[in-house]
Amino acid sequence: MRYDSVIIGGGLSGLVCGLRLVQAGKRCAIISSGQSALHFSSGSFDLLSALPDGEAVTSPVEGVKVLAEQNEEHPYVKMGVERFAALAAEAVATLQGAGVEVEGDVAKNHYRLTPMGTLKPTWLTLSGYVRSESAEALPYKSVLLLNAEGFLDFYAQFISDELRKTGTTCRICNFNLPALEIIRNNPTEMRSANIARIFDNEQAVEALSQIISREAGECEAVLLPAFLGIERGDVLARLQERCGRTIRVVATLPPSVPGVRTQIALRKAFERAGGVYMLGDTALGFEESEGRITKIYTQNHGNIAIEADDFVLATGSYFSQGLVAKREGVVEPLFGSDVCQSESRGEWYERDLFTAQPFEKFGVRSDASLRILRGGKAVENLYVIGAGLAGFNPVKEGCGAGVSMLSAVYVSDNILKK
Amino acid sequence: MTKEYDVIIIGGGATGAGVARDCALRGIKPLLVERFDIATGATGRNHGLLHSGARYAVNDHESAEECIRENMILRRIASHCVDETGGLFISLPEDGLEFQKKFIESCLSAGIYAEAIDPKEALLLEPSANPALIGAVKVPDGSVDPFRLTTANIIDAKLHGAEVLTYHEVEELIMEQGRVVGVKVLDRKSGERKEIRSRIVVNAGGIWGHNIAKKAGVTINMLPAKGSLLIFGHRVNNVVLNRCRKPADADILVPGDTISLIGTTSSKVLFDEVDNMYVTADEVDLLLREGAMLAPSLLHTRILRAYAGVRPLVASDDDPSGRSVSRGIVVLDHATRDGVEGFITITGGKLMTYRLMGEWTTDLICKKLAVDAKCTTAERPLPGSSPQKREQTSRKIHAVPTMQRESSLYRHGDMAERVETSTSAKRSLVCECEEVSVGEVEYAINALEVNNLVDLRRRTRVGMGTCQGELCACRAAGLMAEHGKYCTRRAKQDLASFLNERWKGMAPVAWGDTLRESEFTMWLYDGVCGLTTKKEEEK
Amino acid sequence: MIVKENSKNNFEQCIKCTVCTVYCPVAAVNPLYPGPKQAGPDGERLRLKRPEFYDEALKYCLNCKRCEVACPSNVRIGDIIQTARINHSKSKPGLREFTLANTDLVGSVATLAAPVVNATVGLKPVKAIMDKVVGIDHRRIFPKYSQGTFEGWMRKQRKAQSTFEKQVAYFHGCYVNYNNPPLGQAFVRVMNALGYGVQLLDKEKCCGVALISNGFIKQARRQAEVNVRSIRTAVLEKQLPVLATSSTCTFTLRDEYPHLLGVDNHDVRDEVELAVRYIYRLVQQGAKLPFKADAPKIRVAYHTPCHMEKLGWSSYSIELLKMIPSVEVTVLNSQCCGIAGTYGFKKENYETSQAIGEGLFRQIEASGCDYVVTDCETCKWQIEMSTSKRVLHPLEVLAQAL
């Protein structure tokens, strides 16, 4: 099999990169070893929320300039602080083009509501999610928090108590539907994705809209866990239309239904544009010649190699096994890329789970074009994008999704420029 | 206003609980005070091995005899806490077979059934055992769950009139005319201080008993010895594996509930370290290296966590150097030993002999209080351990899905009937790895004195499975708040500290899948949920 | 790349991310099924503690392996569940299971009296008996048996086929043999057009997929051993690749044998492949398929069977279809049709089976295609019964265009 470009890893980064390549007319394949971390999405995409020293960032475009002073190895700095805003704009355009509707501003972070009820800065938020321009409070004086009875992955009291502190009054109401009774009979499957499936059915949407109309009273907005429809994307709009009210969703524990929908939307857009997405396949080996990767071999395709001009590694960090931590050290298992890491295992960790963990900054070394270094030398046609990159802390710096998408745009540009 | 008890027992480990139960059954009114939760000290930080006594047979005949006697008693009275797995002492080529002969003789003379079996038969019995073994001896080892055992003793003690105050720390002993007459405690939850009086105070504080004794001006020579262990992700072995040689580091592999445990290391630590111990990378490497000698597959098995406990080793009174150490039971009547009336220390011993320690201590209490009552703890089954009632319970909850039903029965024995299972909402699972339902969590919250998520874990195994609380901790915290255990602000703090408590054990072994799991947990709680530790909130 | 394939502890790679539960077609419609995470890695850990933790509800797993495809941790969830069934299930297979599982025995009897059998199983009273007594749902339409087997036809072809210098061996499977010899004939035609002669294996037994799912493990193992022996003769002695037209047979021969039955095939596994993959490779290497210029234009919608999804090979079928000038191809969203071999025939599974397939059926009706194309025979039965479309195999489409 021959393609112009092959991307290994089919999550947010791989899909954004692949989409831009196919849209530019490249024949492109994505090899994805299972589903991606989008399945645990908060519903928002962070760009830059804090600097390595912990200082909060309100404007990512401004913050990135200071970031350059604190960490020159940060992927944003490598890609060029001056290109930051343009790359971000391209990323947004790619999402929108795939039908993933997001709202946000590269010059000013807004705030998303966490399942704990706190407000957290972010860059883009999927439309339909509750968000606020202010770090202090939601834009509503009173809300109704509606939860499905017996849904344990969303605890409304956490949210209502926090909101009350910020001056938003909350009423909590649990609702029930006949269809919920059925899935509740399964002790483990009363989870977001299965509830979401109920709302693929118009009857359930209708029933919920009646509950909302009955319960919402004077509340300015109605908040629900993000479990409205797996196949259908119009459930929220439908409910708002039927109830004539502002209705918003809040993130749940995994699986993240809007995350699943985002993954599906990006994959479909990629396939519609002619891309080939190989799910459940794992790249196992490769051949190289004169400083270039020529082909890779996968588990499913066995002796039929996949050849390409360019290869992009988008296999993520530990979770997705783009990085593998062994007792002796961290490796990038496919190409044996150079990995930036601390010397001994004792230095990988901090004792408080909630402080910046050194191992999060480990990753694949690359040059200024994000070409992978092996034995200190850049491979001419092999790039790394996304969570596998070295030099940043996705959670603490609030930049995981940003690094994934911006590096994807940056590398696709580099490939297209050739 | 102060209330008077016959006995105040300091320390909520297995020993303290055993003393409390024995006292209560003999009509003596005890109060048990514990500064944290039950079974937080050495009780919950060992192998959970139901010793046959074989390990001590060669060097310590007396301990071996105690062990096998108590072993047989626990099988009877604590059947829902015990797993009768059987045990093997295997000889590897480097060990030779010389020790085996002496070992079997010593076992038999201590009354421990020990039979040499063919290496092939041993491998059939326990396929994970090192195939290089040249000999094996079958002994009646098993495993015992220290949390369940302590809980069951507490439940029974309370049923017979004992009172229990957890999260109450003894700050001072009340002394009047050279006699201990009560304790001054700090309620760690409310911050309140109070005095409680009793005719006798029992010091069952394990290694912390050293400091408690000091408060009465009494010195006990204790040597804190740290022992580290590793927990593997599943049951690697179904039969306890020991090395047939002179006892050494990391030579016992115990299947305990859903997991297997290898341990221990042994090193001296200072008293000021015993409250917060970390397992070092060297200890982990040693445990793995030695563990793989027992069962080679350990090298490829996911390690869930590492932890360490402190043994309260007591130096003999007649050896001021502290070098001669006893592993046996030590009951100190401070009246005769130090001239301090009304004060008893019970220490030494091991989890296996907690009941006997309770019996001896209560005998002494009875003597002092002139109570004439016989010990019955060797005959009376603990709550949850009645075989007939277990059958009834099993039938009663037949409609509950298999894995959940069996887990509940395994954990609570016949007390599983107290877990509400009548509606689908109650059967909904909080912890999917260990099959802990909403009903079971509610039972623990309402009936088993749970104050936080770590307590809940000890009662139910929430968060003890493969994911170490990744998905269940949040659900459980929600339920705790809903049932008024605390406000949502404290619920979130508790959630963060629970995850940190889990991380403490994971960090020493965080590579491979364990690191993947931790990264996922961080994304979820730090990322999606925006949870922070209090320290950072203040910043 | 390091992919941990330590099969014994594979379940430990599960980090409880719950992705598999999102893609399980059964859990979505049947609350009695514990779901892949519980039934698989979670349950395995408990079953290792004590076998009593085995839950008979694992029988609801239809072994589609979509959980495995979705899993980001390479956990062989489906294998774990099926192995647990094999090791622990106490329910004994009955007459119904025997009838459904022994596709070759039943097939060889039925083909002898095909018109009678075909007419009889379609009769209302017979359906009622099958439903009430045997437990096969009365709403099911049975696949028709052919008059005469494919093997019989091939015997007559032996001489003609031997004239080709290049040869392949064909694992035709029960369906081609007893129900649809024309598919096998289409395969032979395509191979001949590419310059290859086709021969049968020395001895072919049913691949055993239905035996496995109905609990006849010993028999499945015996048949697997016969097949692997025949495949070894073809591959190692005669140097022939072994091709099959059924995605499920292929998957079973390659992966279920070692994973579920413990039948070692490592020395020949890579030489057993789907015909579409082999043909795709020939075309890539320059072989030409002589398509007719005047073939009627058709629009087809490709459905990816579950085991094709697991094999990761649907792109071979799709790419081949795209090469045919007269064919316009759309690809349906990959989702389970609900039949899962004999699963959907059982009375207790009928509702689940149809509910699983519902989304796919809607998609098919809305696609505006002339035909559905798929590599799996049981998907064909389900789709033909549940939609208005006829279903073809990619090789039938190819053969028609030659």
Please write the tens of the pLDDT for every residue from B407-451.
999 999 999 999 999 999 999 999 999 999 999 999 999 999 999
- Closest residue in A to C318 (Cα) is A276
Q: For B480-491, how does the pLDDT look when each residue is reduced to its tens digit (9 = 90+)? A: 999 999 999 999
C46 to B407: CB separation less than 8 angstroms, yes or no: yes
Q: Is A147 on the interface with B (CB under 8 A)?
A: no
Q: Which two tokens stand for residue C386?
A: 């549940």
Contacts of B19 (CB under 8 A, 6+ apart): B7, B9, B30, B202, B204, B346, B357, B358, B361, B362
Q: Is A56 on the interface with B (CB under 8 A)?
A: no
Distance from C-alpha of A106 to C-alpha of A59, rounded to nearest angstrom: 7
Distance from C-alpha of C180 to C-alpha of C241, rounded to nearest angstrom: 23
Identity of the amino acid at B218: V
Closest by Cβ to C70, choosing from A35, A37, A300:
A35
Distance from C-alpha of B259 to C-alpha of A67, rounded to nearest angstrom: 45
Quick one: average pLDDT of C348-372? 93
By residue count, chain C amounts to 402
Closest CA to A149 of A200, A216, A208: A208
Q: Which two tokens stand for residue A92?
A: 């947004």
Contact yes or no for B111/B140 (Cβ under 8 A)? no
CATH number of the domain enclosing C306:
3.40.50
The DSSP secondary-structure symbol of A391 reads S
Q: Which two tokens stand for residue B318?
A: 């007649």
Distance from C-alpha of A385 to C-alpha of A409, rounded to nearest angstrom: 9
B467 to C37: CB separation less than 8 angstroms, yes or no: no
**Residue C323 falls inside a structural domain:** yes
- Closest residue in B to C2 (Cα) is B512
pLDDT at B270 over 70: yes
Burial class (CB within 10 angstroms; exposed 0-12, middle 13-18, buried 19+) of A233: middle
Q: For residue B453, list chain A residues with Cβ-Cβ distance below 8 A.
A: none
A114 to B529: CB separation less than 8 angstroms, yes or no: yes
- Touching C (3+ Cβ pairs <8 A), the chains are A, B
A319 to C72: CB separation less than 8 angstroms, yes or no: yes
* Domains in chain C, number: 2
Q: What are phi and psi of C303, to 5 degrees?
A: -110, 125
Quick one: average pLDDT of C171-193? 96
Q: For C255-285, how does the pLDDT look when each residue is reduced to its tens digit (9 = 90+)? A: 999 999 999 999 999 999 999 999 999 999 9
Question: What was the pLDDT predicted at C180?
Answer: 94
**3-state DSSP call for residue B117?**
strand
Range of lowest pLDDT (A283-287, B125-129, C121-125, C177-181): C121-125
Distance from CA of A121 to the nearest CA of C (A): 25
**Residue C348 falls inside a structural domain:** yes
Distance from CA of B234 to the nearest CA of C (A): 6
Say which CATH topology domain B82-142+226-308 has: D-Amino Acid Oxidase; Chain A, domain 2 (3.30.9)
Q: For residue B257, list chain C residues with Cβ-Cβ distance below 8 A.
A: 49
Q: Which two tokens stand for residue A284?
A: 């196992």
- Which residue in B403, B470, B520 has the most chain C C-beta atoms within 10 A of its own C-beta, making it the best mutation to test that interface? B403
The DSSP secondary-structure symbol of A366 reads B
**Residue C333 falls inside a structural domain:** yes
pLDDT at C119 over 90: no
Q: For residue B528, list chain A residues with Cβ-Cβ distance below 8 A.
A: 40-42, 114-115, 251, 253, 256
- Which residue in B495, B511, B520 has the most chain A C-beta atoms within 10 A of its own C-beta, making it the best mutation to test that interface? B511
Question: What was the pLDDT predicted at C4?
Answer: 41
Q: What is the mean pLDDT of chain B?
A: 94
Distance from CA of C38 to the nearest CA of A (A): 8
Q: Can you give the residue range of the structural domain that contains C368? A: 298-400
Q: What are phi and psi of C332, to 5 degrees?
A: -75, 150
Q: Which two tokens stand for residue C109?
A: 């009897």
Query: Count of A–C CB contacts within 8 Å?
Result: 109
CATH number of the domain enclosing C77:
1.10.1060.10
Closest CA to B266 of B228, B231, B293, B294: B228
Q: Is A122 on the interface with B (CB under 8 A)?
A: no
Following CA atoms A157, A158, A160, A166 in sequence, which dihedral angle do they give, to the nearest 10 degrees?
160
Distance from CA of C134 to the nearest CA of A (A): 28
Q: How far is CA B126 from the centre of its chain?
A: 25
Domain(s) labelled CATH 3.30.9.10 in chain B stretch across: 82-142+226-308
Q: What are phi and psi of B332, to 5 degrees?
A: -110, 120
Quick one: average pLDDT of B458-463? 96
Contact yes or no for B353/B67 (Cβ under 8 A)? yes
Hey, which residues 261-280 in chain A have their CB within 8 Å of chain C? 271, 276, 278-280
Question: What was the pLDDT predicted at C212?
Answer: 92
Find the distance separating the first CA and the last CA of chain A, reported in whole Å.
22
**Residue C67 falls inside a structural domain:** yes
Distance from C-alpha of B48 to C-alpha of B417, rounded to nearest angstrom: 25
Contact yes or no for C398/C320 (Cβ under 8 A)? yes
Query: Count of B–C CB contacts within 8 Å?
Result: 86
**3-state DSSP call for residue B531?**
coil
Question: What was the pLDDT predicted at B320?
Answer: 54
**Residue C2 falls inside a structural domain:** no
CA atoms within 13 A on the CB side of C202: 13
**Residue C360 falls inside a structural domain:** yes
Helix, strand and coil content of chain A, in percent to the nearest 5, comes to 35, 25, 40
C9 to B433: CB separation less than 8 angstroms, yes or no: no
Q: Which two tokens stand for residue C145?
A: 């048996």
Alpha helices in B327-467 (DSSP H): 334-338, 354-369, 387-396, 402-412, 424-427, 438-447, 453-460
A34 to C3: CB separation less than 8 angstroms, yes or no: no
Q: What are phi and psi of B480, to 5 degrees?
A: -60, -45
Q: Is B108 on the interface with C (CB under 8 A)?
A: no
The DSSP secondary-structure symbol of B58 reads T
Say which CATH topology domain A130-250 has: Rossmann fold (3.40.50)
More confident residue, C88 or C144: C88
Distance from C-alpha of B430 to C-alpha of B408, rounded to nearest angstrom: 13
Q: What is the mean pLDDT of chain A?
A: 96
Q: Which helix (H) or strand (E) holds C191?
A: helix C181-193
Please state whether B349 falls in left (phi above 0), alpha (psi between -120 and 50) or beta. left
Question: What percentage of chain A exceeds 90 in pLDDT?
Answer: 95
Closest by Cβ to B302, choosing from C12, C16, C34:
C12
Q: For A332-378, how does the pLDDT look when each residue is reduced to its tens digit (9 = 90+)? A: 999 999 999 998 888 999 999 999 999 999 999 999 999 999 999 99
**C60, C88, C116: which is the final residue of a domain?**
C88
Q: Is A185 on the interface with C (CB under 8 A)?
A: yes
Distance from CA of B293 to the nearest CA of A (A): 19
Domain locations in chain A? 5-105+260-417, 130-250
Contact yes or no for A228/A235 (Cβ under 8 A)? yes
**Residue C271 falls inside a structural domain:** no
Characterize A264-289 residue by residue with b for buried, 16 or more Cβ atoms within 10 angstroms of its Cβ, and e for exposed. Answer: bbbbebbbebebbbbbbbbbbebeee
Closest CA to B515 of A322, A370, A262: A322
Closest by Cβ to C55, choosing from B297, B402, B467:
B402
Q: For residue A34, list chain C residues with Cβ-Cβ distance below 8 A.
A: 19, 69-74
Q: For residue B301, list chain C residues with Cβ-Cβ distance below 8 A.
A: 9, 12
Contacts within 8 Å (CB) and 24+ apart, A290-298: A291/A377, A291/A379, A291/A380, A292/A379, A292/A380, A292/A381, A292/A382, A293/A335, A293/A379, A293/A381, A293/A382, A296/A6, A296/A8, A296/A31, A296/A334, A298/A31, A298/C312
Closest by Cβ to A152, choosing from B475, B504, B525:
B475
- What CATH number has the domain spanning A5-105+260-417? 3.50.50.60
- Which residue in A36, A39, A189, A307 has the most chain C C-beta atoms within 10 A of its own C-beta, making it the best mutation to test that interface? A189
Distance from C-alpha of C187 to C-alpha of B233, rounded to nearest angstrom: 49
Question: What was the pLDDT predicted at B318?
Answer: 60
Which class is domain B4-42+147-221+317-369?
alpha beta
pLDDT at C8 over 70: no
B533 to A354: CB separation less than 8 angstroms, yes or no: yes
Distance from C-alpha of B448 to C-alpha of B426, rounded to nearest angstrom: 17
Distance from C-alpha of A280 to C-alpha of C65, rounded to nearest angstrom: 10
Range of lowest pLDDT (A105-119, B67-81, B82-96, C91-105): C91-105
Q: Is B387 on the interface with C (CB under 8 A)?
A: no
A298 to C17: CB separation less than 8 angstroms, yes or no: no
Does the global pTM surpass 0.90?
Answer: yes
pLDDT at B518 over 60: yes
Quick one: average pLDDT of A221-231? 95
Contact yes or no for B466/B433 (Cβ under 8 A)? yes
Give the Cβ contact number of residue C291 at 10 Å. Answer: 15
Q: Where are the beta strands (DSSP E) in B177-216?
A: 179-187, 193-203
B407 to C73: CB separation less than 8 angstroms, yes or no: no
Q: How far is CA C381 from the centre of its chain?
A: 12
Q: For C306-340, how does the pLDDT look when each residue is reduced to its tens digit (9 = 90+)? A: 999 999 999 999 999 999 999 999 999 999 999 88
Q: Which residues pair with A30 in a beta bridge?
A: A7, A277
Identity of the amino acid at B87: G
Distance from CA of C15 to the nearest CA of B (A): 6
Q: Which two tokens stand for residue A199?
A: 């709302």
CA geometry: angle C76, C80, C82, nearest 5 deg: 120
**C88, C112, C137: which is the final residue of a domain?**
C88
- Which residue in C10, C14, C22, C283 has the most chain A C-beta atoms within 10 A of its own C-beta, making it the best mutation to test that interface? C22
CA geometry: angle B448, B454, B460, nearest 5 deg: 50
Quick one: average pLDDT of B294-318? 89
Characterize C258-268 residue by residue with b for buried, 16 or more Cβ atoms within 10 angstroms of its Cβ, and e for exposed. Answer: bbbbebebeeb
pLDDT at B161 over 90: yes
Closest by Cβ to C45, choosing from B234, B297, B517:
B234
- Closest residue in A to B517 (Cα) is A319
Give the Cβ contact number of residue A177 at 10 Å. Answer: 18
Distance from CA of C62 to the nearest CA of A (A): 17
